[in-house]
A and B are shown apart, each in its own frame.
Chain A
Amino acid sequence: MTIRTEPMTVNVGPQHPSTHGVFRVRITFDGEDIVEVEPVLGYLHRGTEKLAEERNYVQVVTLTDRLDYTSSMINNQAYCLAVEQLLGIEAPPRGKYLRTLTAELQRIASHLIAVGFFVQELGAFGTPLMYTFRSRERILDLFEMLCGARITVSYMRPGGVFSDTPPDFWPALDQFLADFEGELEEIENLLLSNEILMVRTRGVSPLPRDVAINCSVSGPVLRASGVNWDWRKIAPYDAYDQVDFDVPLGSNGDNYDRFWVRMQEVRQSLRIVRQCIAQIEPGPVRLELPMVLRAEPGAEAYGRVEASKGELGFYLVSDGGVSPYRCKIRSPSLINLTITEHLLLGWKLADMIVSLGSVDINMGEVDR
């Protein structure tokens, strides 16, 4: 007896709790197997690049907070580095260390979200996510001490950071590091060799290294496929040439490797934070610059950093005015989505959300 079957198209998102924001993807299933994938973007498009053309160089910092809102510090950093390159200036050493330190704290916070939601999507509802959010909260508290904001920090400025640390910041940071050691161990013990997690993620949706490179993938997703490429090592900026850290690499590029690389990167970020604390010296945190900056007409700069999601680049072009003539944002989340089809095609419905979660996208950055 033959059973008549027909493909079914399911609309995932844009209002769906597991799509990390307003990501929408149309998927055609044959039974449980995925046969067609079409990402649909733009639900959070706010025209950030156009808005940047109407604000002066310092004001644009506030727009960058709202790109990947889980790693605002790193967005600030990428933009400020681009402006500094455009103007041919450099932040003072203490400013560089404060940027490196806050960027690494932000990376830990962002990876904790990525890992927490990844495990939540595997069905571990609540507990692991609360573990990771407990630690992330503490990092946001530290940011609040620095600049009064937890998410939309705008802490950095072209030429340094907005202000020096308040005196009670350093003891609070030490206390966080002491507490987080145990908390991270708890998370690692719970997840890293968890049998259910391994069975569900090992070998699922592998991404070969040549596909990753051809699709311009970057960040932990690229490194999970075994490509040793980290902009902090390749083209060190701020204080990254002063600190020692390893670049964790995956081997299969499967969902487990993408998760594993992020877990290891949290450890490396902690190493960097500790070295920053040991090396930082008193001094000015910001160059004295006019309130309104102007670059040479025709000058341009491509500033990039290793953000928590991958290569975040700001391509600025100046016409001599007080605002950028063009501010193109090279968004790692958008470009990492190029592999959606590769990751999902041929796999089962049950693995779909997990594979999407393993890429760790942020819609604020995808749609901009």
Chain B
Amino acid sequence: MTLVALSGETLARRLQEAAPDAVIEWNDSSVWVRPEAMGDVASFLHNDAELDFTYLNAVSAIDFVEYFELVYHLTSMAKGHTGVIRSRVYGREEPTAASVVKVWRGADFQEREIWDLMGVRFTGHPNMKRIMLWEGFEGHPLRKDFL
């Protein structure tokens, strides 16, 4: 089996059918969606027979100072393709995105780690606590303004 990377356009077209408001823009490799819609987008990506993204490789967060970018690397083992979904989260006080743990359990520790080290909260996560550092630690060390 050879693995095919789905283009941002393919993903965006499919997503727009199911959740027209969720998609913001796309490029060759990925599609950007609204952070608060990520839960619904995740269920669609997982359950849609054509996309079939049953496997979540990784959830990453990047601090671009102006906003935080969440990156979801996905794989369909049955269809043999991969996809990248992104989401920009604005604000530095309490940036929030929707959790995808209900769809992919594999996101559990990664979302907790993003909260712990990057300070992005996930609504709908059953156990939104710090994971590497202890409760009471001040700040989120992977942020660019943490010294």
A binding-site residues for B, Cβ under 8 Å: 41-42, 45, 47, 49-50, 211, 213-217, 227, 229, 233-235, 302, 304, 311, 313, 315, 317, 325-326, 328, 330, 334-335, 337-338, 367
Question: In the assembled complex, how far is the CB of residue A347 from the closest CB belonging to chain B, in whole angstroms?
Answer: 19
Does the CB pair A42–B3 fall under 8 Å?
no
Question: In the assembled complex, how far is the CB of residue B82 from the closest CB belonging to chain A, in whole angstroms?
Answer: 9
Interface size class of B (residues with CB under 8 A): 20 to 34
Question: In the assembled complex, how far is the CB of residue A60 from the closest CB belonging to chain B, in whole angstroms?
Answer: 15
Which one of B8-16, B18-26, B89-97, B127-135 is at the interface? B127-135
Question: In the assembled complex, how far is the CB of residue A89 from the closest CB belonging to chain B, in whole angstroms?
Answer: 19
Contact with A along B14-47 (1 / 0, CB 8 A): 0000000000000000000000000000000000
Does the CB pair B106–A41 fall under 8 Å?
no
Q: A234-B80, A315-B73 are in contact. List 9 more A-B contacts (CB 8 A).
A: A213-B55, A214-B105, A216-B105, A302-B58, A302-B73, A313-B57, A325-B62, A334-B109, A338-B105
Q: A330-B57, A338-B109 are in contact. Are A216 and B132 (CB under 8 A)?
A: no
Q: Among the listed B60, B109, B131, which residue makes an inter-chain contact with A335, where contact means beta carbons less than 8 Å apart?
A: B109
Does the CB pair B77–A328 fall under 8 Å?
no
Q: Among the listed B62, B73, B106, B142, which residue makes an inter-chain contact with A50, where contact means beta carbons less than 8 Å apart?
A: B142
Does the CB pair A215–B132 fall under 8 Å?
no
Question: In the assembled complex, how far is the CB of residue B84 from the closest CB belonging to chain A, in whole angstroms?
Answer: 8
Does the CB pair A235–B3 fall under 8 Å?
yes
Measured CB to CB, the nearest residue on chain B to A46 is B132
- 8 Å CB contacts to A: which residues of B94-116? 104-110, 113
Does the CB pair B60–A315 fall under 8 Å?
yes
What is the CA–CA distance of A174 and B109 in the complex, to the nearest angstrom? 43
Question: In the assembled complex, how far is the CB of residue B83 from the closest CB belonging to chain A, in whole angstroms?
Answer: 12
Question: In the assembled complex, how far is the CB of residue A311 from the closest CB belonging to chain B, in whole angstroms?
Answer: 7
Q: A214-B104, A216-B56 are in contact. Are A337 and B132 (CB under 8 A)?
A: no
Does the CB pair A326–B62 fall under 8 Å?
yes
Does any Cβ of A come within 8 Å of B54's Cβ? yes
Measured CB to CB, the nearest residue on chain B to A311 is B57
Does the CB pair A216–B104 fall under 8 Å?
yes
